Amino acid sequence: MPVQRIKFYQTGSFAVGNRLLDPGRRSVQADAGRTNALTKGHRACQGCGEALGARYVLDAVMRATGNRAVTVNATGCLEVFSTPFPESSWQVPWLHLLFGNAPAVATGVAAALRAKGRTDVRVVGQGGDGGTVDIGLACLSGMFERNDDVLYVCYDNGGYMNTGVQRSGATPHGAVTTTTPAGNSFGQGKSVPLIAMAHRIPYVATATVADLRDLEYKAARAMEFHGARYLHVLVPCPLGWRTASDETIRVARLAQETGMFPVFEALDGEVTDVTPIRRVLPVVEYLRPQGRFAHLFGDPPREDVIGKLQLEADRNIRTFGLTEPVR
Amino acid sequence: MSEASKHPYAITLDVGSSLANKTGSWRTERPVYLDRMPPCNDACPAGENVQEWLALAEDGDYEAAWRQIMADNPFPAVMGRVCYRPCETACNRATLDQPVGINSVERFLGDEAITQGWSVTIDAPPSGRSMLVIGAGPSGLSAAYHLALRGHRVTVRDDSPQAGGMMRYGIPSYRLPRDVVDAEIQRIVDQGVRLELSTPVTDLDAALGEFDAVFLAVGAHIGRRADIPAGDSARIVDAVSLLADLEKGEEPLLGRRVAVYGGGNTAMDVARTARRLGASDAVVVYRRTRERMPAHDIEVHEALDEGVRMRWLSTIVYAGDDRVLIERMRLDETGFPQPTGEFEELDADSVVLALGQQADLALVRGLPDATIADGVVQVDGRMMTGHAGLFAGGDMVRGERTVTVAVGHGKRAARNIDAWLSGATYEHAERPELASYDRLNTWYYADAPATLRPQLDVARRISSFDEVTGGLTAENALFEARRCMSCGNCLECDNCFGMCPDNAIIKLGPGQGYEIDLDFCKGCGLCAAECPSGAITMLRGRF
């Protein structure tokens, strides 16, 4: 396992920390002195997965770079809830731009820093799945193709949640959105991690907010490389997924444990490590708590759609080897 | 610097921090940290704060852990050997994988205390009151210990030559080595409790006049008899006397084939003792099935390991000089055994009756205001008999007859005696809600199977009275303590702190826990949902 699996006995490596653990081995989020890159008072919804994901990633990046990082943020939930003028929740250098050009601007910032000889300052691009998977994909592909020295992080909540839960290219098959009220019947959602791998960039990884140590590890690991890097983080959205605000972590965990969201790491376009599923669960366990899939469980239930999603999960488990024993 | 150069762009306001935005106003529910009652604590007859001492042991502070046990129970080393572990039966971890080996950690701590010579000091000033405890068994000694801690002068009288009661005269040494009993009793004596052995108390009235209060705990030492028709030369002995005689150095002559009649723990003890005394065949004859045996599983299991045979659904109807006649039984629909009229013979040189014990009530019989019913002394919630100032506990009152229950009686009596002396009533602290399994988020606990204690080889077991079960090493004990899920109480895993999307949890530092920043808590409930131990609850409509 890439993540340092620490035996806490009581809570394993699954909890944020543990009082019995030596402070040096605690997660960034367990540290009372963490950066709090995204501080309180932001206007994200109750139980927002993206607010969590962004803080985890930026705090870990700050620790990994000795507080020398600047972030570029596409339009989207993260930008809107964190910076309604004149307030800002960011406690790191932060730059906002358009919906579709975050990778391009991040590239520009990296180039500007290089021109100024500031090799110590690193650049992190951030965006939601709308700004990344759909609108910004061309810029992102260009950034990958040129191998610009940027870590780009996509917070995937499966839709345009900021503007009222419209369907995006990352919305899973069968999910209800305001633009697909009967359930989305398109493909299976676009996998930008696989697209990124096809560019043979140095580092690609996926993670969820349910496995904090894994996410922190990947944010920090990404900073060990130069060139284009891509981190795709699953961040459940209580509003768009129609889940209770206290279920955010649980559904992210279920996405991982059912195989719906494979968690892996790839170097130069090759999968090098996966996070094995601890206890494989059927996809209905993941679908049932979410209101966006409620129509699948009517009378009669939509076995065809559920079956398709199960096949997809099974394929993920098979292709990525998600049931391999923990190494 | 001019105003213009501070604002190079057309900005009219300074950028401020979102800290100005008190998002706590969105809240409709409020998270609150609380302590729920862990099932282990709830189940402990001695009222030990099990989770608290496990938590101290988890930190590796064995002495503090031991002191926490001693606050409730002066016999950790004994407990760690003979307690039937209601805590482990109740343990939530059993639902996840296997219960935490609470008892083995307790034994480790008890043994460590003996090795290190730890003792408990009395901080209370002398009260000037004197108590008499009659019976130096677990209940009496527990009461004496707790009374001494409260500054009272305590005398314990017992008619046996050595203290310990059933711990010494009822439990075989292969389960409870005598040096352990001696060490833990000596610690109580060293605290200033006066022990008067071989001193039978015959006049309770006189004792009540001499002392401010009396605690009576003489136990149940009288073996219950059954009228079995027997031949002239049949050898029939009762189990309690046999175990007591053995302790006093008189080895009973049982022969090579021993039939033990009964199905309780004493039946197991005596059958296993018979094996150690050289019986090649020890058979337990019991009227019902194994499921209905009152003996605890561990003991049945160990007895079977040692070659003790079991005859379920059987009664002894006649005892001859070298054989007994057995009648087969069947259970009726209520589970009561009924005779079948089918008989068979079983070779047996002697029959040991282990049919239960009766409380020794001779002392109380003379008191007009003390009530005896169902073979035990009646006591109220304070453990006081109908006679003012006379308290009773242990096997002579109603309750399960185990060492742990007896120890718990002693503690309860001591608290109530102390209160009664000052004209007050002891108020038991209110019990918080139980931390049941469904309160936990067990995802967070790592898979960790229980550590087993080493056991003596069967060959060694049946040829000696050496202790059967070994103890844990310090390392194993630490691992086992750390399997505790801390049900219902914060274990400082930082999940609430790390998983709050609003940074609204304040970490107060080691041992201090956390606080909710209500200015910014939106009440999403993630902290409560993701708390492994169920130590956070959401309150509605209270801000």
* ipTM score for this prediction: 0.94
CB-CB contact of B169 with B146 (8 Å): no
Same domain, B215 and B363: yes
User: Could you tell me if B498 lies within 8 Å of chain A, comparing CB atoms?
Assistant: yes
Q: Do B526 and A246 touch (CB under 8 A)?
A: yes
List, in sequence order, every residue forming a beta bridge with A274; answer none if it has no partner.
Answer: A264
Q: Do B492 and A48 touch (CB under 8 A)?
A: no
Q: Which chain A residue has the Cα nearest residue B527?
A: A246
Same domain, B233 and B320: yes
User: Could you tell me if B182 lies within 8 Å of chain A, comparing CB atoms?
Assistant: no
User: Could you tell me if B20 lies within 8 Å of chain A, comparing CB atoms?
Assistant: yes
H or E, element range at B180: helix B178-190
* Banded pLDDT at A325 (limits 50, 70, 90): low
Lowest pLDDT segment from A186-190, A218-222, B282-286: A186-190
In chain A, which residues have their Cβ closer than 8 Å to the Cβ of B16? Answer: 86-88
Cβ-based neighbours of B169, under 8 Å, separated by 6 or more: B160, B221, B243, B244, B247, B248
Q: Which of B392, B421, B450 is the last residue of a domain?
A: B421
Q: Is residue B437 part of a domain?
A: no
Same domain, B269 and B336: yes
Q: Is residue B169 part of a domain?
A: yes
Q: Do A89 and B502 touch (CB under 8 A)?
A: no
Q: Do A11 and B482 touch (CB under 8 A)?
A: no
Q: Which chain B residue has the Cα nearest residue A35?
A: B503
Q: Do A10 and B525 touch (CB under 8 A)?
A: no
Q: Is residue B269 part of a domain?
A: yes
What whole-number distance in Å separates Cα of residue A54 and Cα of residue A94?
12
Q: Do B523 and A89 touch (CB under 8 A)?
A: no
Q: Is residue B217 part of a domain?
A: yes
Same domain, B307 and B266: yes
Residue B367 φ then ψ, to 5°: -90, 125
CATH number of the domain residue B381 falls in? 3.50.50.60
Q: Do B18 and A87 touch (CB under 8 A)?
A: yes
| Nearest CB partner across the interface for A30, out of B21, B446, B494 | B494
Same domain, B214 and B266: no
- For B529, the token pair is 């949902």
Q: Do B444 and A51 touch (CB under 8 A)?
A: no
Pick from A77, A88, A90, A246 the residue to mutate for testing the B interface (most B CBs within 10 Å). A246
pLDDT at A326: 46
Same domain, B284 and B168: no
In chain B, which residues have their Cβ closer than 8 Å to the Cβ of A18? Answer: 491-494
CB-CB contact of A134 with A144 (8 Å): no
Residues 38-77 of B with CB under 8 A from A: 58-59
Residues 388-447 of B with CB under 8 A from A: 443-447
What is the pTM assigned to this prediction?
A: 0.91
Q: Is residue B124 part of a domain?
A: no
Q: Do A9 and B510 touch (CB under 8 A)?
A: no
Over the Cα atoms of chain B, what is R_g? 29
Q: Which of B356, B380, B395 is the last residue of a domain?
A: B356
- To the nearest whole Å, the CA of B27 is away from the closest chain A CA by 9
Q: Which of B457, B466, B463, B458 is nearest to B276 (CA)?
A: B463
CB-CB contact of B16 with A91 (8 Å): no
CB-CB contact of A285 with A254 (8 Å): yes
Same domain, B270 and B165: no
Q: Which of B334, B356, B378 is the last residue of a domain?
A: B356
- For A141, the token pair is 């592909």
In chain A, which residues have their Cβ closer than 8 Å to the Cβ of B18? Answer: 39-43, 82, 87-89
Sign, CA dihedral A34-A40-A44-A45, equals positive
**Domain at A32-320: CATH architecture:** 3-Layer(aba) Sandwich (3.40)
What whole-number distance in Å separates Cα of residue A290 and Cα of residue A278?
22
In chain A, which residues have their Cβ closer than 8 Å to the Cβ of B510? Answer: 19
What whole-number distance in Å separates Cα of residue B259 and Cα of residue B317?
13
Same domain, B346 and B228: yes
At B363, the amino acid letter reads: L
Same domain, B58 and B113: yes
Q: Do B498 and A14 touch (CB under 8 A)?
A: no
Q: Is residue B21 part of a domain?
A: yes
User: Could you tell me if B494 lies within 8 Å of chain A, comparing CB atoms?
Assistant: yes
pLDDT at A4: 57
In chain B, which residues have their Cβ closer than 8 Å to the Cβ of A78? Answer: none
Same domain, B349 and B228: yes
User: Could you tell me if B336 lies within 8 Å of chain A, comparing CB atoms?
Assistant: no
Q: Is residue B123 part of a domain?
A: no
Q: Do A10 and B17 touch (CB under 8 A)?
A: no
- To the nearest whole Å, the CA of B478 is away from the closest chain A CA by 10
pLDDT at A1: 44
In chain B, which residues have their Cβ closer than 8 Å to the Cβ of A247? Answer: 529
List, in sequence order, every residue forming a beta bridge with B516; answer none if it has no partner.
Answer: B505
Pick from B494, B505, B512 the residue to mutate for testing the A interface (most A CBs within 10 Å). B494
User: Could you tell me if B31 lies within 8 Å of chain A, comparing CB atoms?
Assistant: no
What whole-number distance in Å separates Cα of residue B110 and Cα of residue A229?
57
Helix (H, G, I), strand (E, B) or coil at B429: coil
B77 alpha-carbon distance from chain centroid: 12
Residues 227-286 of B with CB under 8 A from A: none
Same domain, B215 and B364: yes
Q: Which of B506, B500, B520 is nearest to B26 (CA)?
A: B520
* Banded pLDDT at A103 (limits 50, 70, 90): very high
**Total domain count, chain B:** 4
Same domain, B149 and B175: yes
User: Could you tell me if B4 lies within 8 Å of chain A, comparing CB atoms?
Assistant: no
Q: Do A253 and B528 touch (CB under 8 A)?
A: no
pLDDT at B1: 46
What whole-number distance in Å separates Cα of residue B328 and Cα of residue B315?
7
In chain A, which residues have their Cβ closer than 8 Å to the Cβ of B19? Answer: 39-41
- To the nearest whole Å, the CA of B118 is away from the closest chain A CA by 25
- As a three-state string, the secondary structure of A144-180 is HHHCCCCEEEEEECCCECCCCCECCCCCCCCCCCCCC
- For A251, the token pair is 């559904």
**Chain A to chain B Cβ contacts (< 8 Å):** 172
- To the nearest whole Å, the CA of A197 is away from the closest chain B CA by 30
Longest dimension (CA), chain B: 122
What whole-number distance in Å separates Cα of residue B296 and Cα of residue A65?
61
Q: Is residue B430 part of a domain?
A: no
pLDDT at A292: 97
| Nearest CB partner across the interface for A39, out of B58, B497, B503 | B503
* Structural domain harbouring B237: 224-356
Q: Which chain B residue has the Cα nearest residue A91?
A: B17
pLDDT at A12: 76
pLDDT at B13: 63
Q: Which chain A residue has the Cα nearest residue B449?
A: A9
Per-residue pLDDT of chain B (543 residues; tens, 9 = 90+): 455 556 566 555 677 899 999 999 999 999 999 999 999 999 999 999 999 999 999 989 999 999 999 999 999 999 999 999 999 999 999 999 999 999 999 999 999 999 999 999 999 999 999 999 999 999 999 999 999 999 999 999 999 999 999 999 999 999 999 999 999 999 999 999 999 999 999 999 999 999 999 999 999 999 988 888 888 888 999 999 999 999 999 988 899 999 999 999 999 999 999 999 999 999 999 999 999 999 999 899 999 999 999 999 999 999 998 999 999 999 999 989 999 999 999 999 999 999 999 998 989 988 889 999 999 999 999 999 999 999 999 999 999 999 999 999 999 999 999 999 999 889 988 999 999 999 999 999 988 888 889 999 998 899 899 999 999 999 889 999 999 999 999 999 999 999 999 999 999 988 899 999 999 999 999 999 999 999 999 998 755
- To the nearest whole Å, the CA of B65 is away from the closest chain A CA by 15
- To the nearest whole Å, the CA of A178 is away from the closest chain B CA by 24
What whole-number distance in Å separates Cα of residue B191 and Cα of residue B56?
25
pLDDT at B452: 87
